[in-house]
Every structure is written in C-alpha cells, then in structure tokens.
A and B are shown apart, each in its own frame.
Chain A
Amino acid sequence: MPKDGGIGAATPRREDVRFLTGTGNYTDDINLRGQAYVYFLRSDVAHGRLNKVDTSAAEAMPGVLRVFTGEDFVEVGGIPCGWQVTDRFGQPMQEPRHPVLAHGKVRHVGDPIAAVVAETREQARDAAEAIELDIEELPAVVDMKAALVEGAPKVHDDLTSNLCYDWGFVEENKAAVDEAFQKAAHVTTLELVNNRLIANPMEPRVAVGDYNRATGDSTLYTTSQNPHVIRLLMGAFVLGIPEHKLRVVAPDVGGGFGSKIYHYAEEAFCTFAARALNRPVKWTSSRSEAFMSDAHGRDHVTKIELALDAENNFTALRTETYANMGAYLSTFAPSIPTWLHGTLMAGNYKTPLIYVNVKAVFTNTVPVDAYRGAGRPEATYQLERVIDKAARELGVDPIALRRQNFITEFPYATPVAVEYDTGDYHATMDKLEEIADLKGFAARRKESEAKGKLRGLGVNCYIEACGIAPSNLVGQLGARAGLYESATVRVNATGGITVMTGSHSHGQGHETSFAQVVADMIGIGADQVEIVHGDTANTPMGMGTYGSRSLAVGGSAMVRATEKIISKAKKIAAHLMEAAEGDIELKDGKFSVAGTDKSVAWGDVTLAAYVPHNYPLADLEPGLEETAFYDPSNFTYPSGAYACEVEVDPETGRVTIERFAAADDFGNIVNPMIVSGQVHGGIGQGIGQALLEGCAYDENGQLLTGSFMDYAMPRASDVPFFTVDHSCATPCTHNPLGVKGCGEAGAIGSPPAVVNAVVDALRSAGKDITHIDMPLTPARVWAAMQG
C-alpha cells in the first residue's frame, strides 16, 4: 500500500475545502479599488465592412469614461499566433492580422467592434446601445469546401484565398501509400464529420487590468491555463510591455479544457485600457458572449480510407481532412489538425504506410483551437470508426481485427514520425473485456430486445501523445515557443516546503497531487508541502497546463528541483554528522549515515541551511532553494480500450448510454482518485460530443447555438456511472515519474465507442447503416433508421 499522502495514495484534495465553502478566489471575485467596467459591442453579422462607428452619443452617456474602437489599436500589435505550419509545397501558412478590436471589417458574429468603459457594468452596457454603426454586410463563408471555391468571398481581403495551408504528412510517403491502395485486397472508405464543439468551462472568462502610474507596472488578472504564456504573448507581441513590468495572475480558474490557453483580445484590451485611463478595468464574459468569443473546438470534415491485405492486415491509411480555423488564427490553432492529429494516425496499429492531408480553411466563424484532446480525438474517431466499418465489411469481429493489427513491440517508430516508448494494447483490451463484462453482452441484448429496445456494443482503442513537448522538436515543427516546464522548490527554515510551479491547476488537483510527489521523495507528510501556481510574480517561467502535460513535464521539473534539494541537504547532513556525503541516506524525513545509528532530522538540516552557524560555508551556500526546468525528450503515449453499450428506442431514435467502461494505461499513478475523476470527466465530454453537442451556424454565419438553451450540454441524467480502470500500467521510460498523463484520454477514447455502439444497435435490427454523424440526436438516429 502506498504511504499515506505519498505517491499512489488516493489523498482527498486540499483545494476542495475552499471550493466547497464558497471561499475560492476566482477572477470574477476580484474587485479592485476604483475599478471601471468594460462592455464589448460585438458584431451581429458574420462578415461586413465597417463604414462608420460613431461613438459620440455613447461618450455622452452617464458614467462613460471612454469608448474605444479599432482605431485606438492601429498602433499596437495584433493577437499573435504561436505556431507556424509549413504547407506541402514548403511555403508558410497564410497568417492574417487579428486586431484587438475590429478594424475595417468584421469577420464573425461576436467580433468586438467597440469597447465602452464606464463606472458601472450597467452604464457601459446601456451606452453601447447608443453607438451608431454602419456595417455593409458582405456575403459570408461558412462551409469549408465552399470557402475554397474560386471566387468565394474572402474572409481576409489581403490573403490570396481562404486556404490557410494545405498540409501533407508524410509528403514523401504519398506515392508509396497510393501504390499500397492499388495493391490492397480490400479498401474501406468512410466520410465523416467531427462536430464543432464549444468547450464551455463553467466559469466564463474574466479579465481585470490594473496599472500603477507611479511604477509603470501593469497587472492582468485573467482566467488562464498559462499565465506566463499570456504575459509573453501580450507583452511582447501586442502591447509592447516588457515582462518585468507586467504581472499576469490566473487565480482559481473554473475549468479550461483548452479554451483558456489562448491569448484573447479582451485580456489585451483590459490591460491597455487600464493604462490609458489609469483605472482598473474589468470584463466579465456573459455565457452568451462566451459562445461567440471563446475559441471553439474540432470541426473537421474527413474522408478516411483503410487498405487491408487478404489476411486482414492493415497495409495503408490515407486521409483527407478539411479543418476549420474560423475567422482568425487562435494561439495554437494551426498545430491542432496537423502535428497533434497527423502524428497520431497510426493509432495502436502497425499500419506501415500512412498519408495525411489537411486543408485548413478560414471561414466567417469564431476561431477554432484546441479543445480537450485537440487533434487526437479527431484522429482516434476516424481511425476507430473506419476499423469498425472494415470489420463489418469483412465479416470479422471488430476486437479481433484490432488485436490482429496491434503494435506489440516497443519502442515502436510509427510511419508518422513519433516513437511510442511503451504500451501493452492486448493487456488493456483484456482488462476491458473483463471490466465491461463483454461476455454478458448477448444476454443483456436479449433483455433489451424483450423491452422493445435495440442494444449495441461499441469497442475501440485510442492512443494519444501527451507530455507536450520536446522544445527542439516542436521548434522544427513550427512552434514559436518552448514547451518545457519549471519548478522552484523552496525549503523553509523550519522544514516546510513551498513549491512554485509553472503548471496551472484549474480543476486537476495539483495542490494535492504535486505535494504528494515532493512529500514522498523526502519522506515527510504532504501537509508539509504547499503548491503555489498561477502568478507570474512568484513562479518561474512556465508554459502552463494543457495537453495532459502537467505531471509528465511540470511534475518532472519538480522532481528534478527536489533532487537538487536532496543532494544539497545531504551535503549539509554529512557536515552535521561529520560523515562522508556518499554515506548519507534519506528515509522517512531523516538523514542517517549508512551502517551507523547516527542520524539528523529533516528539520535539523533545513534549519542549519538558514542558520548556518555549524555549516560548511567555504564549500556550500546557505539556504535551501532550487529551481529546475525540465524539457521532455519525447512525448508520452497513454493508451487504452473503451467499451460502450447503448440502448436505442426504435420508435424515437433516442439513445441512452447503459454501460461505459474504460481501461487506460497512464503509466504510474500519483493519485488514483484524481485520475479516475479525470477519466470520468473526459468520458462525460466525449458522450456529450457523440450524443448531444454540436455548434451550429446558418448559411449566413449566424450562430444558432448561442446559449445553454440551444447547445446541449451533458446533464446528470444523460450519463450512467462509469467503470474505469488504470491498473494496466507500462510506465513512461523517459520521465522520472514514469507517468503519461490522463487529462484528455476520456474525451479521446469515448466518442467512437458511442457511435460504434449505436451503429451496432441499428444493425442488430437489420438496418444497413454504416455511419451516422455526431451528435447522434434522436432525429438523426430516427432518420437513419427510416432511410
């Protein structure tokens, strides 16, 4: 059994107490003295020329301090994009300017046109109604393929077309892949849509800008997953504020799921306006604004083809995907359909030849970027759907077809440029068959049929690349940032430890699990370790939390810093006990000399470090504080197998999830309670994508799903209890904790399981149905059954 509070213990979360008692400190809970409020007037048309923005009447309204327009931001930078993709022909992607406030044109519903700053929120909102707009509405492009037709309206007049890039991967393999398809014994083809989603963390975005005229310091409080990244992007590229004069604080953040990674215009605005007005300026997004200004996710249209030989071995895979970028490039948008998607197309299978083509397209819609899983759910969905379809065409068991093609030897270099270090796909599938009780399915199907319901079983695998990412590699791939992580471990004189991490927790429980790691390494209680995050003023430069990277990269930095602490502490202990450093052992918070009964306590050593009276001052600095930056040498590769059982009501097309099981390999586990919770949440979101959620625009670019009234979020009654297991662990070989990351798995692995299950259910009734696009609403399922 793991030690209480150490690695492997299901320690209750310490952060829960403040969240449960209403004493958290979310950004909207922050109110500064003299604070003014901003209201953004947003475009209600998808595409239009801004002929006039007359703010004079609004300026005269009660309480109004100033009304800003795009003209005020002509001299500052645009919102930057953090990743440059190079196309099939060696050319850089087309990269349009993204102004803080629209200038010249509006390009999506929700594009901010003007910003009213007033004494109260209500005054700002009232005054916005007095702004006189003359917008010449232009034809909008919404459908990606239509946007690429010659002569289509252009989202950006200064670009050559609406094509951001046409990417091929691996371009050199294209001819060999095509040849393999010529020789294939069987080819399965599937066209599908990965539906556009809206992340909708329960806390809407908030920004509070502050400026101190006496010091020239700016501070931004914001709902971010990565405050240092915001400081760098906004300071260096938008507002020209050097990092030492800019502090970014992301306090308690109410969920992110990717949507709070990016630098948003509202953050830059509040920081800019606070300086211009010498007043704190606060913006709190309404949920309606969130729907039209938070980056959306997914939105791929894909054709996938799988080639098999006569023995049902996968011989080649070919895909063509259209990926929606929306109207502007969000911070990491270009990397999602390319490097986080194409590199995962091998999945768990030894397909020798793969070619992925992605056309990224500008449309008059909200920008699209990473949403939980980011590229990997899109890869997994198409691959696991086409394999299921192939199994049905060939009349073989879909699990057997998968098992036959599993990668079984590691490390394994895929034909799409990544090397899986560890995994055991048969083991997770074996575990799944057990925990999902697949043997009992036939009997359960009979029970459902007796009730007049159709029952289906869907099974699939997934692999993902987490622990993002080796900086030198991503630099070659176009990233404009490093992707290391940092930690400072500060041991206090009386032995307590403060860890400053560059990772950020917005629900993941770092304050608990990170403390478990440090406590375990030293052998003290986890209550002796405090985790500090989310404030650039007191944490080292960090890249933040996304891509299931916190423990694998941030945790590794913390381990490295703690190793430095232990190394120095051993030197101090050796001095105190007049022994050789090499003979010092640390166990249970006590230093002892090997082979003797001599020992000193952790607290004796830490006190000596800060009260260095008996101390080797000639050889060793006083104090006990170390910083480490950890840059991973590879991605990590969590994998697993998921099973879903559904019932379909043949009268209405309504799908209910009856059972859901997940067998995951996350490598080593620090806190199994938190890991299970992460999987539960991911499955909930995956079921949401499969059955309920879908962002819809009409042909004019009007957002039809603009609130929780029309965008169907999963509710408690939409899901069952889940069965999750993470006992099949093949530890990561290249990070010190052997961890792989668990945050996105549930959202990656679950959509294909649900859709496979529904198709299976319908086929059990003799319906010749091979695919239905998500979300599988009753209307879509019913219509498919009639067709």
Chain B
Amino acid sequence: MPDKGSVASAPDFSTVASGPVRSRAEVPEREGPASVPPGNPTVTALWEQFPDGVLRNRVCAGDEDVVYIDPERVTEILGWLHETAGQQYDHLADVTAVDYGGGRPIEVVYQLWSIPHRAALRVKCELPLDALEIDSVTGIWVGADWLEREVYDLFGVTFQGHPDLRRILMPENYAEGHPLRKDFPLRGRFSRAEQTRRALTQDPEDYYMPGEIGERTPQVVGSGADGGDDAAGSGAGVGTEGGDDGL
C-alpha cells in the first residue's frame, strides 16, 4: 500500500519529457533573431534574411514551425521562400484565416510545403480588424486564387492584386457580412424569411456561366448521319479536326 501511494504522488515523466511532444510552455515564443531555436533551418534563414520582416516564431504541436511576419512584406517574404534554392516552398497547401475574437487581430495563415525538401512551414500575418488588407500571393502560387477568395468571403480580408476577388462559397447576393467572423451571429443577421426570400431571388445561372466552368470544345454532332456510305472516313476526318480545335 505505501508503494501504491508513492507511485501515485510521484509519476515518472522522464521518458515523456525526452519524447517528441513539446508543449507550448516548453517552447516559448521567440522575439528577435538572437533567440532563434536551433530547429528549422528555414526559420533561421528567415531571421537572417528578413530581420525586420519576421516578427516572431514559435513551435506548435511539437514540431510545426510557425513564423509571424509583417503583413506589408508578405509577397516579398513568401516569394523569397518560393524562389530561393535552399527553401523552394513550391506547394501552397492552404490559405486560411483565424479570428480569435475579442477584438484581436485576424491571422491570415499560409501553410507551405516544399516538395523537394519535404518540409512544411506555417506563415502567419496578423491583420488588425480595422485594416483587413493584404497583398495577394496569386502571383507566386496560382492556386492561391480560390483560397484567397474563400478567406475574403468568410472573413472579409481584402487581397490586393487578386485577379477575381469575389465570393466563392456564399451566394453572390449575400449581404449579411462575413460568416466566420467571431462577431457574426450564428444564424445570420437577417430573419429566416428574409434569408429565404433573398435565396430564391438569385439566379444560379447568372453566376455560373459556361465561360467560368471552362469553355468546352463544341462537339460535331450528326456528322456520321450525313455520310452513311463513307461513315468511317468522314468520322475520322471530323474527329481529327475537332481534336486540333480543342488543342
């Protein structure tokens, strides 16, 4: 019995402390290049390259490096991460945002992945609620197009230089704001009757034109019917022409 009591009062955490999981308390946020953790070489390189562009960094969930950068220099820093030989973060896995509520700034999150180096990096930009503007990174990764539209739609962050910044998930005539903000009421701002009425006044075909989905090559229909005696030859000819047009 005394053995049991001692075991309960003094658990052995020595093996846990040496394990791969580090809590946030053990890895505090680092301010300034003097306290760069020795872990991620990209973070070290960022501190050296942009000493005034990188605000701080921390390690999240054990081994995920998060770098906070100046929103004014987002295209410069992310472009450097994309182009530089040792970094080559060529895959933009996600662009999203987080609203922590309480008037705190909205964080725009860029989740990067380097295919040649097999390394991940999370870059965050803090935007105050009264200046929700940031440069678009569609010039660096084309795939950021819809991701930034989603952030604009749900959080109201304006991306400067985006080629087609409009709503992507909510209806085009949605006028209640940006739903993923913490100050947005769960059921929206309008009554259900007004929401129903507005939903039915929209015409989906106004917003999904064939040009947006992608122009389809017009198919030659009925070409086999007119040349019944020479169906094989004419069909092959039409097919070749159609292929050339399509390419």
Whether chain B is bound by chain A comes out as: no
Residues of chain B having any CB pair with chain A under 8 Å: none
Residues of chain A having any CB pair with chain B under 8 Å: none
